[in-house]
Amino acid sequence: SQELSVVRGTDGAEDDAAGEEKAASEWERKTAYALVSHEFGLVLEALSECLESKNAELFAASLVCAAWLVHMLSFLPDTGVLGAARVCLLRQLVLVLRSAKHGSDRALAMVALRSFMNDREGMQDITTYIKDVLRTLRELKKSSGLAFEMLKLLSDGQESSIDMWNHKELNNADCSSNGEVTSIVYYKSYIFSGHSDGTLKVALPKCSCLQLQVITISFIF
């Protein structure tokens, strides 16, 4: 009976801990919701300005608040505030990730940026700063599991394919007349593109002016 009472006591303690954790999570959600609901996330603008401060204490406190608030937005109803958070904080967080001297600051920036990556629009916005983000994540991937995870997400599961982001735009051509581009291959200075209407196009870069001469080949099935 003594052993049974000990087991029951342990279960009771676990239940109490679970209840406290649930209550704390609920309090966090309510607090975050109250903050971002005021004047449609006015606090986000204030945090953005504080992240530019040269006052170390103000900067550190603001970074902690920004990382926590962005993280909590993932658990709140989507009212458009997440988009406002990206507008206000994304650039600042990328700067912190790239330039911060303290590892803890970089870690907080990564937590916030990872939260932005939970939706398609967030991923698209991050690609605006893709070179800076990838360069820093590569530096941190050996010491941070989160950095490695973010690299995989940004490279569609394969870190080696990140090199696809490194490119130089020479020129462009309007191919919309043949529908959606379904595939594209570069081979021996020729650019081959397949289109949804069954058309195959071959683009030939002209000698010195970097213009494209496009040859269209149509297939009839």
What band does 209 get if pLDDT is binned at 50, 70 and 90?
A: very low
Region 148-172 average pLDDT:
63
Q: Would you say residue 51 has pLDDT above 90?
A: yes
Q: Would you say residue 98 has pLDDT above 80?
A: yes
Distance CA 17, CA 116 (A): 30
pLDDT at 10: 55
Pairing of strands 199-205, 190-195: antiparallel
Query: Is this structure's pTM higher than 0.85?
Result: no
What band does 106 get if pLDDT is binned at 50, 70 and 90?
A: very high
Q: Would you say residue 163 has pLDDT above 50?
A: no
Region 32-43 average pLDDT:
84
Q: How many CB atoms lie within 10 A of CB 35?
A: 18
Instruction: Please write down the HEC assignment for all residues of the chain.
Output: CHHHHHHHHHHHHHHHHHHHHHHHHHHHHHHHHHHHHHHHCHHHHHHHHHCCCCCHHHHHHHHHHHHHHHHHHCCCCCCCHHHHHHHHHHHHHHHHHHHCCCHHHHHHHHHHHHHHCCCHHHHHHHHHHHHHHHHHHHHHCCCCHHHHHHHHHHCCCCHHHHHHHCCCCCCCCCCHHHCCEEEEEEECCEEEEEECCCEEEEEEECCCCCCEEEEEEECCC
What band does 54 get if pLDDT is binned at 50, 70 and 90?
A: very high
Residue 155 CB-density burial (10 A; 0-12 exposed, 13-18 middle, 19+ buried): middle
The pLDDT > 70 percentage for the chain reads 76
Confirm if 36 and 76 have CB atoms less than 8 A apart: yes
Q: Would you say residue 185 has pLDDT above 70?
A: yes
Provide the token pair at 146.
């989160």
Q: Would you say residue 171 has pLDDT above 70?
A: no
Q: Would you say residue 32 has pLDDT above 80?
A: yes
Pairing of strands 190-195, 212-218: unpaired
What band does 1 get if pLDDT is binned at 50, 70 and 90?
A: very low
According to CATH, the topology of domain 2-165 is Leucine-rich Repeat Variant (1.25.10)
Rg of the chain (C-alpha set): 25
Q: Which letter, b or e, does each residue of 160-179 get, where b requires 16 or more Cβ atoms within 10 Å of its Cβ?
A: eebeeeeeeeeeeeebeebe
Q: Nearest to residue 174, comparing CAs of 118, 115, 216?
A: 216
